Chain A
């Protein structure tokens, strides 16, 4: 049976690939240090495939047919579609057997994801995937989640879907080591007058709640209240899905969740966070340093 050897979640702001030098150098350096730390820890565990959950940006789906979740079953996935992203367009290898197992397993557990054999992976996936696997060699199962067009899944719903996802992956006997990644969020405002605003208070509150195992005051936040933190902030649905998949209810062994980076990078119009979920006993050099620890403070107000 497969193990989810580790999970992490990261912001996927396009500017992190398209124009990273636009940020204040020290802030970009701290964010990328956190992201690269997550990647190093993950790659040291030799994953055979990565399952990535990210928000839809009307790249694959339009309002004629918009699933809440779609699982990419393709042998390959073309991406990125954005010519300006700073990443060459490639055919990313898929993991169809794992993807089909995830689809069937989450349906068997009461959820109703859609499917596609022809998903395109935009900046929502490729900024984070390309950083993890620059040669596009690690097989990818993309899972696209509707995070912006109402009505939306609640965070509680995403957590429960994540539990089913984690159970489904762990029941797969075709692979031994799977990495799980969430991409998107935290706070940002796009395509509206507040474009560029970042809700630092929300971001730090969210990252702390993630470290605490997603308590009810996070999971039970209503969609309207969540939207007040940014019309793009709903992409934390991917983070919560990943957290659910790494919970005891999902069959995960004891884990430690750590927020390893947070920088409110206004030039990228995004709160840039990274959090890791590591299986206790597999952390070679010890647990990662939290931004909330005495010696790990990287920014923010809380």
Chain B
């Protein structure tokens, strides 16, 4: 359930930022009241996108968080573990290249 609460914390933070009268800074995630491990709480407190990714936060939530922070692609691509993008690019046969 821990990953659930970590993602729940981020989801609630995003909803808070959308409010018209919101005055919470985008990088100040409220972590009190959520069942979190120390690593999860630290990653959220620091708005550490790379750590959030490695802890398993869904990419759509990460993307929404980065958008709220005002980051463009170049800003947040560098926050992920180095070399991971290249590792993820594949050489598998896919039908759109073979058909």
- Real complex partners, A and B? yes
Binding site for B on A (CB under 8 A): 14, 22, 57-58, 62-64, 81-84, 89, 148-149, 190-197, 199, 201-202, 205-206, 217, 221, 225, 228-229, 231, 266-267, 269
Is there contact, CB below 8 Å, between B95 and A225? yes
In the complex, the answer to whether A193 meets B80 with C-beta atoms within 8 Å is: yes
Contact (Cβ within 8 A) B81 A82: no
Number of contacting residues on B, CB 8 A?
A: 38
For residue A218, give the distance in angstroms from its CB to the closest CB of chain B. Answer: 9
Task: Name the distance in Å between A61's Cβ and chain B's nearest Cβ.
Answer: 10
**B 68-99 binary contact with A (CB < 8 Å = 1; else 0):** 10101110110011001100111010111101
Is B39's beta carbon under 8 Å from chain A?
no
Cβ–Cβ contact A191 & B63, under 8 A: yes
Chain B binding site: helix, strand, loop or mixed by DSSP?
Answer: helix
Query: Which of B64, B73, B90 is close to A269, meaning CB atoms less than 8 Å apart?
Result: B73
Q: Is the Cβ of B95 less than 8 Å from the Cβ of A193?
A: no
Q: Is the CB of A195 within 8 A of B77?
A: yes
On chain A, the residues within 8 Å of B31 by CB distance are none
Q: Within 8 Å CB of A202, what residues of B?
A: 94, 96
Q: Is the CB of A190 within 8 A of B96?
A: no
Pair A201/B73 contact, Cβ less than 8 Å: no
Contacts of A62 in B (CB 8 A): 7-8, 11
Mask: chain B, 1-37; 1 = CB below 8 Å from A; 0 = not: 0001001100100100110100000000000000000
Q: How far apart are the CA atoms of A221 and B95 in the complex, in Å? A: 8
In whole angstroms, how far apart are the Cα atoms of A199 and B84 in the complex? 18
Q: Give chain A residues whose Cβ lies under 8 Å from the Cβ of B77.
A: 193, 195-196
The answer, among B20, B60, B72, B85, for a CB contact under 8 Å with A193, is B85
In the assembled complex, the Cα of A217 lies from the Cα of B63 at a distance in Å of: 31
Cβ of B94 and Cβ of A190 under 8 Å apart?
no
Smallest Cβ distance from B84 to chain A, in angstroms? 4
Within 8 Å CB of B97, what residues of A? 201
Q: Which A-B residue pairs are the 9 nearest by beta carbons? A: A191-B59, A191-B62, A191-B63, A205-B96, A193-B85, A190-B63, A193-B80, A193-B84, A196-B73
How distant is A189 from chain B, measured CB to nearest CB, in Å?
8
Q: B58: CB under 8 A from chain A?
A: yes
B66 at the interface (CB under 8 A from A): yes
Q: Contact at B89–A194, with CB atoms within 8 Å?
A: yes
Which A residues are CB-close (under 8 A) to B58? 58, 148-149, 191
